[in-house]
Amino acid sequence: MFGILLSAFNAVIGWVFRTLIVKFVVAFAVFYLVQLMAENLIDLLPGVDGLNSAFGGVAPTVWWYLDAFEIAAGIQMVIAAYVTRFLIRRIPVIG
């Protein structure tokens, strides 16, 4: 009986080390690489002076609607999602 339990325990431990830990290490490496690429890309982007001057002429009533619908947060999320999708597709194993 003890041999059966020991065999089952060894099978479970082997599965954990073969699949779970390997997948965790790969996922962590991909996350770290994407984070490094994103930081480098952000440094290469131009400043926001042109956008500030462009949005300076927007009427206050339009700004109220933009703030009410949280357009600023939505635009940031969409841009972050597009950048992440772009970077993930550049990874040879995943993309």
Span 53-94, pLDDT tens digits: 878 888 889 989 999 999 989 999 999 999 999 988 888 876
The proportion of the chain whose per-residue pLDDT surpasses 90, expressed as a percent, equals 29
Two tokens at 24? 């965790």
Weakest mean pLDDT among 25-29, 41-45, 62-66, 81-85: 41-45
Mean predicted confidence (pLDDT) in 48-56? 78
Q: Which amino acid is at 10?
A: N
Q: What is the distance between the alpha carbons of residues 11 and 17, in angstroms, rounded to a whole number?
A: 10
Residues 6+ apart with CB under 8 A from 34: 84, 87, 88, 91
CB 88 within 8 A of CB 94: yes
pTM of the model: 0.44
